[in-house]
């Protein structure tokens, strides 16, 4: 029983495969075909984004999809190369002091292996919550900046020139240097390709429906624009021998899929890549589960975050042994899979088989594919990721979030992807700690004739000269205890006749050890001043935890179940003070 | 007016000096004398802890005290060398690839300069809250581990041998290697010194009171044990020429105080020391303000955290130009100053003058002072800092805090001070984020016949098949939005007839941009499932912020002022479901 449930938990395919039906196979096959048509040119282009030979994109797709379908919990997530992760791979490899293409390729495998192992163990130890430390605005800013850099990096193919760099400035300067060598054939082909793909996306579906095709069929065909471009541009290049006019072609690609081969790893490579691998793992995971959760929720399905880590980790580990670079769940591809009706993870497996067929038999045809066509496909794919509205929206909603967005965006663009995302995470954590380090605290008084207590600054309430009632609207933890201590003594020093301080714990959901020590210190110091400290309305779980501590043992005052009981017990005059401050 | 208040704010001496009275001078002078007697041997010993010539301790004391008295806001804080900071200085200097004593000395000045500049600018930009990110248990563990390492590092003087190392293992192994060379005179003198100082602390006050001395005088005299030891051991060493028997003496110390001289700094030294300087700044600041706040509260005085940064920063900057190493506000010394009745920061200034007198005229006498006597004084001073009870107390109170304590303690002891404190800060921040990333969330139902809503798991309440009411007991921010999203859809998938989800915001004190986006996504996805999303009891400030957003504009349901109104408006049956789950 225990064994069976362990298998069911860690190998989700064992849950759905026994119930797999012919209808499922039909649905999955259709979805798989559509995804494969979209994926093949994309994965070739993303391999170029990563600075690797194009075939590695195919290998990464095959093993990413196949392994995830065994270990993943999402029915529709499509795990293969994605734009942001490919860019991060390029940035990580560019840092290495190596030039030999074979060594660079090996480093890409090591990167996939390390990030896969990281994801796998986070999943085994159920540490999926780590992904929560990336805030949405930071991710959004990072994706926007990455898409801009990818777009910029593709311009060299569009102009048929060389350029280098891993941030906007480097890429821009490099492009300007050689823009005078622009190959007009590449540029023309690129512009026509982009125009055609955009037209397909925007108008083809409408047109096909208009000429009488079924709407579903029209939708599918309208997505095949990139494949038309691949075929048409290859034909054009072949017929007119455009390579003789300087057009860069994809060139020779080996047939078949590589044999199992362990990446070569030494201590130096390990320490150079471990940081990048960690960032790739966390960004890949966050992207994947955002997509997977959205799609699962739409069908009232559930995904298991920790098992997703195991699934993504396994996909990357296996990929690294078969000539692939880091993979992740891509947004647009997964949405296509979802819309096309993928019913189970088998759709991914079938896509993998289709890509294998292409890698085995059709690579000679890819020889004539112009690089500029792939660049056009990638450009059109990444532009929708660029979303500057986050700057405006966060500015309007919260300056704190805006700060994190601004840092992430500018540092990613100007310095690079790794620095940018690290700065973004740090900024959002610091900002969060800062915000909660100054909790909202109100001096409260009683609404006359009632048992309700309200902020003396906002309401006309009765207060007593010998009482100071303070309501704390935040959990107490290390980052805000000093503020609390300072505030209480500031309030005490302003109210010279005070004999009792009552802390109202209505909104206190936690009290950590730092807060406990601070409360103890406040109690001691108030005692020396002849002032008693009382608590009111402490929640059950907090009281359970405080009860056995010395703080409660030596508390100079009492714990009251309600603020009103505290005030009734402690007030020494019926004369309310003025509540005006 | 603006100019005047700026001076008053940044140069606090301008606030109190004009009102300085003869009575103040009397009080301050007595306190200054007592502190000076305690400080002089301590600062010589702490210079040795820092691995620097003894006179640097005197210079650091003089300029630390004098400058702080101008810029500081605490009447009683005594800013001079302190044990933990001296140890951190030693650790920072030991990392440098330099051997020349003059270069090491210069590096110590640079360390003081950099940490001073850091503190100063944190103060100018009012960033004092950064100190809040160090939790009490982490500081306590760090101080305990540091005191152990300092104690261990002093054993070499006690045994009269050589040893090196900056963690327990290194120091221990190094001691064991040369323990066979123990100098028995040093050991004997050390043990007698320790015994005498301990006796003074424990019994002398009692004895003096018993033989009829006034209690105040007895208290003062009982604190002069270290000075007796300094005088007596110097005499013994001089009379019997114990240096000829291998006893290590303090040796020649230059007279007077050094001329103003800028520390020499280059890019390499800067980048080697900036991290250590940052840690020294933050630890020094946290120690100082903990002491200053406690003492200020006892007299109902206030200190200004940001001006404290300016004060401590200035003290370190000036010290670095006059041959001193990093300084901070010391706990025991400040308490002595406080108890002895220091009325204003002038007490510190007078102490500085007294130390200057000693540095100018009495250094020839210090030639004969055995190093083991200083080691004995430091040992007795650091032992009270060792407090392992935090391990037990945090274990009992909160496993999360225990984890942070355990990491800090073991890593500081086994690896070193800088690694230990960095790990401690990281651990406490991660643990805090983890705890708030899984907020307490309750499905609530109505207590029959009332308007109160309670957790369905704990209370017998009425619920409705078409309603799902969820109370969230935490502010919503990036670290817990994913959990919330997952939970809502899990609950929805369990209750198939649900038409309305009501989120009860009673305890939600903040909604950041990530949470806003998640709420928007939840609203969209629920809409696609035909389920409306409603909010109830949203606090005023949160509602103000949400009102202009697209989330509220496209919210499929409504915002209700009370949960009861929401339920009354949305329920479709009077038949309560069973509340048993």
Q: What is the DSSP letter of A504?
A: E
B401: chain A residues, CB-CB within 8 Å: 512-514
Residue A3 confidence (pLDDT): 52
Kind and range of the H or E element at A363?
A: helix A363-366
Check CB contact under 8 Å for B489 and A296. Answer: yes
Query: Are A115 and A86 a contacting pair, CB within 8 Å?
Result: no
Q: Quick one: B243 and B97 in the same domain?
A: yes
Residue A578 confidence (pLDDT): 45
Torsion of CA B471, B477, B483, B484, to 10 degrees: 30
Using the 3D structure, point to which of B411, B437, B463 is the last residue of a domain.
Answer: B437
DSSP E strand boundaries for A176-280: none
Q: Quick one: A381 and A470 in the same domain?
A: no
Query: Which candidate in B125, B287, B513, B540 is best for mutational testing of the A interface (most A CBs within 10 A)?
Result: B513
Least Cα separation, residue A437 to chain B (angstroms): 7
A509: chain B residues, CB-CB within 8 Å: 439-440, 473-474, 507
Closest CA to B123 of B271, B315, B323, B319: B315
Is A174 within the bounds of a domain?
Answer: no
Q: What is the pLDDT of residues B437-474, one digit of tens each?
A: 888 888 999 988 877 788 888 788 889 989 999 999 88
Is A577 within the bounds of a domain?
Answer: no
Closest chain B residue by Cα to residue A391 = B513
Give the mean pLDDT of B549-572: 91
Whether the per-residue pLDDT at B333 is higher than 60: the answer is yes
Least Cα separation, residue A478 to chain B (angstroms): 5
Taking residue A258's Cβ as centre, other Cβ atoms within 10 Å add up to 15
Pick B397's closest partner by Cβ from A305, A435, A516: A516
Check CB contact under 8 Å for A513 and B480. Answer: no
Distance of alpha carbon A441 from alpha carbon A439, whole angstroms: 6
Kind and range of the H or E element at B501?
A: strand B500-504
Least Cα separation, residue A415 to chain B (angstroms): 19
Query: Which range marks the domain in which residue A109 is found?
Result: 21-132+182-385
Q: Quick one: B406 and B312 in the same domain?
A: no
Is A152 within the bounds of a domain?
Answer: no
Q: Quick one: A122 and A265 in the same domain?
A: yes
Q: What is the pLDDT of residues B78-137, one digit of tens each?
A: 999 999 999 999 999 998 999 999 999 999 999 999 999 999 999 888 877 777 778 888
Q: What is the pLDDT of residues A37-73, one digit of tens each?
A: 989 999 999 999 999 999 999 999 999 999 999 999 9
Maximum CA extent, chain B: 101
Residue B573 confidence (pLDDT): 53
Q: Grade residue B2 by pLDDT with cuts at 50, 70 and 90.
A: very low
Query: Which candidate in A302, A478, A506 is best for mutational testing of the B interface (most B CBs within 10 A)?
Result: A478
A479: chain B residues, CB-CB within 8 Å: 129, 132-133, 432
Distance of alpha carbon B37 from alpha carbon B414, whole angstroms: 35
Residue B145 confidence (pLDDT): 94
Check CB contact under 8 Å for B396 and A548. Answer: yes
What is residue A150's three-state secondary structure? helix
Decide: residue B529, CB within 10 A, 0-12 exposed, 13-18 middle, 19+ buried: middle
Residue A573 confidence (pLDDT): 53
Distance of alpha carbon B144 from alpha carbon B408, whole angstroms: 10
pTM of the model as a whole: 0.78
Q: Quick one: A381 and A447 in the same domain?
A: no
Question: Chain-wide mean pLDDT for chain A?
Answer: 89
Q: Quick one: A42 and A115 in the same domain?
A: yes
Q: Quick one: B391 and B494 in the same domain?
A: no
Beta-carbon contacts of B12 under 8 Å, excluding residues fewer than 6 positions away, are B70, B71, B72, B73, B304, B307, B311, B345
Q: What is the pLDDT of residues B151-162, one digit of tens each?
A: 999 999 999 888
Check CB contact under 8 Å for A479 and B510. Answer: no
Beta-carbon contacts of A501 under 8 Å, excluding residues fewer than 6 positions away, are A468, A470, A488, A492, A526, A531, A532, A533, A534, A557
Give the mean pLDDT of B497-526: 90
Q: How many separate domains does chain A show?
A: 2
What is residue A560's three-state secondary structure? strand
Closest CA to A190 of A181, A178, A200, A198: A198
- At A547, which CATH number? 3.30.750.24
Is B577 within the bounds of a domain?
Answer: no
Query: Which candidate in B128, B142, B482 is best for mutational testing of the A interface (most A CBs within 10 A)?
Result: B482
Check CB contact under 8 Å for A129 and B437. Answer: yes
B474: chain A residues, CB-CB within 8 Å: 475, 509
Phi, psi dihedral angles at B301 (to 5 degrees): -95, 165
Closest chain A residue by Cα to residue B486 = A293
Closest CA to A300 of B498, B462, B388: B498
* In the block, residue with structure tokens 């309600």: A562
Give the mean pLDDT of B547-574: 88
For A376-402, the three-class secondary structure string (H helix, E strand, C coil) is: HHHHHHHHHHCCCHHHHHHHHHCHHHH
Closest chain B residue by Cα to residue A138 = B514
Q: Quick one: B377 and B494 in the same domain?
A: no
Taking residue A262's Cβ as centre, other Cβ atoms within 10 Å add up to 9
Is A6 within the bounds of a domain?
Answer: no
Residue B4 confidence (pLDDT): 54
Angle at B477 between CA B472 and CA B482, to 5 degrees: 75
Closest chain A residue by Cα to residue B519 = A136
A480: chain B residues, CB-CB within 8 Å: 132
Q: Grade residue B578 by pLDDT with cuts at 50, 70 and 90.
A: very low
Give the mean pLDDT of B267-283: 91
* The token pair that represents B392 in the structure block: 């037990």
Q: Considering only residues 79 to 138 of chain B, which have any Cβ-Cβ distance to chain A shorter than 8 Å?
A: 129, 131-138
Question: Chain-wide mean pLDDT for chain B?
Answer: 89
Is A408 within the bounds of a domain?
Answer: no
Pick A129's closest partner by Cβ from B296, B434, B525: B434
Q: Are strands A328-329 and A79-80 parallel, antiparallel or unpaired?
A: antiparallel
pLDDT above 70 as % of chain B: 98
Kind and range of the H or E element at A500?
A: strand A500-504
All residue ranges of chain A with pLDDT < 70 are: 1-4, 573-581
Using the 3D structure, point to which of A366, A385, A404 is the last residue of a domain.
Answer: A385
Taking residue A304's Cβ as centre, other Cβ atoms within 10 Å add up to 18
Q: Quick one: B496 and B481 in the same domain?
A: yes
What is residue B436's three-state secondary structure? helix
Is A104 within the bounds of a domain?
Answer: yes
Interface residue B408 vs chain A (CB under 8 A):
no
Question: In the beta sheet, which residues pair with residue B445?
Answer: B454
Q: Quick one: A292 and A371 in the same domain?
A: yes
Using the 3D structure, point to which of B416, B437, B458 is the last residue of a domain.
Answer: B437
Query: Are B236 and B189 a contacting pair, CB within 8 Å?
Result: yes
Alpha helix stretches (DSSP H) within B443-549: 478-494, 513-528, 540-546
Q: Quick one: A250 and A369 in the same domain?
A: yes
Distance of alpha carbon B252 from alpha carbon B249, whole angstroms: 9
Q: Quick one: A486 and A556 in the same domain?
A: yes
Give the mean pLDDT of B483-489: 88
Distance of alpha carbon B282 from alpha carbon B285, whole angstroms: 5
Closest chain B residue by Cα to residue A404 = B513
Is B581 within the bounds of a domain?
Answer: no
Check CB contact under 8 Å for A509 and B474. Answer: yes
């Amino acid at each position: 029983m225990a064994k069976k449930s362990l298998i069911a938990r860690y190998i989700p395919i064992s849950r759905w495969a026994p119930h797999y039906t012919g209808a499922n196979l039909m649905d999955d096959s259709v979805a798989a075909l559509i995804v494969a048509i979209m994926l093949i040119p994309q994965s070739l282009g993303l391999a170029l984004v990563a600075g690797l030979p194009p075939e590695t994109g195919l290998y990464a797709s095959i093993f990413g999809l196949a392994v995830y379908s065994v270990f993943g919990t999402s029915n529709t997530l499509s795990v293969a190369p994605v734009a942001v992760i490919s860019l991060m791979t390029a940035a990580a490899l560019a840092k290495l002091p190596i030039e030999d293409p074979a060594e660079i390729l090996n480093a890409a495998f090591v990167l996939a292996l390390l990030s896969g192992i990281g994801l796998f163990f986070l999943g085994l130890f159920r540490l999926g919550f780590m992904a929560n430390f990336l805030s949405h605005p930071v991710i959004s800013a990072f994706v926007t900046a990455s898409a801009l850099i990818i777009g910029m990096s593709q311009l060299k193919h569009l102009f048929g020139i060389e350029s280098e760099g891993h941030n906007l400035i480097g890429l821009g300067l490099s492009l300007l240097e050689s823009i005078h060598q622009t190959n007009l054939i590449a540029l023309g082909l690129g512009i026509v390709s982009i125009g055609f793909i955009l037209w397909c996306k925007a108008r083809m579906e409408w047109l096909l429906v208009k000429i009488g095709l079924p709407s579903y069929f029209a939708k599918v065909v309208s997505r095949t624009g990139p494949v038309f471009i691949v075929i048409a541009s290859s034909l054009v290049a072949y017929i007119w021998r455009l390579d003789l006019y300087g057009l860069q072609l994809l060139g020779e690609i080996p047939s078949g899929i590589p044999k199992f081969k362990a990446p070569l790893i030494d201590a130096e490579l390990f320490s150079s890549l471990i940081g990048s691998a960690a960032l790739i793992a966390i960004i890949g995971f966050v992207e994947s589960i955002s997509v997977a959760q959205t799609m699962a929720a739409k069908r009232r399905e559930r995904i298991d975050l920790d098992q997703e880590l195991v699934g993504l980790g396994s996909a990357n580990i296996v990929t690294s042994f078969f000539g692939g670079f880091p993979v992740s769940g891509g947004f647009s591809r997964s949405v296509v899979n979802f819309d096309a009706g993928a019913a189970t993870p088998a759709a991914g497996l079938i896509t993998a088989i289709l890509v294998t067929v292409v890698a085995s038999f059709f690579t000679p045809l890819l020889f004539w594919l112009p690089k500029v066509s792939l660049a056009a496909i990638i450009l059109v794919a990444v532009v929708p990721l660029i979303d500057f509205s986050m700057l405006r929206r966060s500015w309007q909603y919260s300056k704190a979030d805006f700060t994190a967005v601004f840092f992430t965006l500018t540092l990613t663009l100007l310095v690079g992807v790794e620095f940018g995302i690290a700065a973004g995470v740090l900024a959002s954590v610091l900002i969060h700690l800062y915000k909660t380090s100054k909790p909202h605290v109100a001096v409260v008084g009683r609404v006359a004739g009632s048992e309700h207590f309200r902020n003396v600054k906002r309401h006309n309430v009765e207060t007593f000269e010998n009482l100071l009632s303070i309501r704390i609207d935040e959990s107490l933890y290390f980052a805000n205890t000093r503020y609390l201590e300072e505030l209480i003594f500031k309030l005490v020093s302003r109210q010279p006749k005070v004999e009792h301080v009552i802390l109202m714990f209505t909104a206190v959901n936690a009290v950590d050890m730092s807060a406990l020590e601070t409360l103890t210190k406040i109690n001691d110091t108030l005692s020396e001043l002849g002032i008693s400290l009382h608590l009111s309305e402490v929640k059950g779980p907090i009281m359970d935890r405080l009860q056995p501590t010395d703080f409660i043992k030596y508390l100079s005052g009492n714990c009251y179940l309600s603020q009103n009981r505290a005030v009734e017990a402690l007030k020494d005059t019926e004369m309310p003070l003025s509540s005006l401050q």
